[in-house]
Chains A and B, each alone.
Chain A
Amino acid sequence: MHRTGELYGQFETLEQQKDTAQLGMWVFLVTEVLFFGGMFMTYTVNRHAYSAAFGVGSNTLDLKLGGINTVILILSSLTMAMAVLSAQLGKKKQITFYLIATLILGSAFLGVKVVEYKQKFDHHLIPGKSFDITFCGNNPSACGITAADAEKEQKEIEEAIRAENPDNPEQGLISLDSHAQLYFSLYFGMTGLHALHMIIGAGLLLWLIKQSLGGRFGPGYNTPVEVTGLYWHFVDIVWIYLFPLLYLIDRHVNT
């Protein structure tokens, strides 16, 4: 490993060296934008084609948990930005503090995600053999919802069945079931990929914390903190779009 703040041979100044590292991270993030963009595109096209089923699927998500996670993640972006700032100012203890805070918030986000995934298993909403979109409507106690909420959900499902197939309710339920599975496949695919990015980010944070405990970062050398910050904020932005698209856009149907 190189000593801190060393100027490599191919650069003229340290500033140029730092700009290059930042540019490199940005170029990587461009590929990430297009990578996630493909998933968002798939979601948009399918949601447009099967809007009734996607609405039913979206409204089964726990808005409270999703909202809490949004707050946690944005807060973690703030602590990450503060870590970079502390490094620029050379406040070594603060760097470590903010990096650890970011790691804790990131882990909390993943913990909430685990609770949400577990809920989907319990509610028979994992695409596959035992998938059953009507489960919570028919078994309110197993899902921990009130009878009134279950009735509301049943009504919503009935409407969606009519939207899928106005003439044949049996056929309508079959296609609603398969299109709702499509929604949940995309939900798990997109949030899972996002969670994978969070896990990688958490690994990078651990690596940064170890180095900052050794006092490596300061005004002269903080490139790793800065570019990891760029990555972390990017993952935050992905969630900023996932939250409304997956959790919110069909809430008004239920009111």
Chain B
Amino acid sequence: MSEHIASPKLYVGIFLALMVCTAATVWAAYVNLGPLNIIIALAIASFKATLVVLFFMHAKYSPRRTQLVIFCATFWLAIMLALTLTDYETRHELSRDSSHSGATAALASRIAR
């Protein structure tokens, strides 16, 4: 298998797509969407990152082995983010639910802080 050679047109196209996404994310940031703002910002950023990985970094045409390494990186990052957030995101729930018991609430709010 010889290496894949992309066309300059493709690269310029990807660049223009990244520019459009950048403009879109700045525009979306000024619209008040509540909690959706951060989700949209991260979704656009992830789409841009995917374009860079697939085309500029040639992941689309790389051997399966390399693609597996990329997948692992994302997967392990997701584990770190998700499992850490299950802790931090539920601490506040703990302090709210146990407000009927003074001692537990004090402890919980101390943990949350």
Contact = CB atoms under 8 A, between A and B. Distances in A.
Contacts of B1: 15
A71 B23 CA distance: 10
A36 to B, nearest CB: 9
Q: Which of under 10, 10 to 19, 20 to 34, or 35 or more describes the interface residues of B?
A: 35 or more
B32 A237 contact: no
A67 interface: yes
Contacts of B42: 241, 244-245
Contacts of A255: 30-32
A27 B71 CA distance: 11
A63 B23 CA distance: 12
B73 A30 contact: yes
A84 B105 CA distance: 59
A241 B45 contact: yes
Interface of A: 15, 18-19, 22-23, 26-27, 29-30, 33-34, 37-38, 40-41, 44-45, 48-49, 63, 67, 70-71, 74-75, 77-78, 80-82, 85, 88-89, 229-230, 233-234, 236-237, 240-241, 243-245, 248-249, 251-253, 255
Interface of B: 1-3, 5-6, 8, 11-12, 14-15, 18-19, 22, 25-26, 29-33, 37-38, 41-42, 44-45, 48-49, 52-53, 55-57, 62-63, 65-66, 69-70, 72-74, 76-77, 80-81, 84-85, 88-89
15 contacts: A19-B66, A23-B66, A23-B69, A29-B73, A34-B76, A74-B15, A81-B6, A81-B11, A82-B11, A240-B48, A241-B45, A244-B44, A244-B45, A245-B41, A249-B41
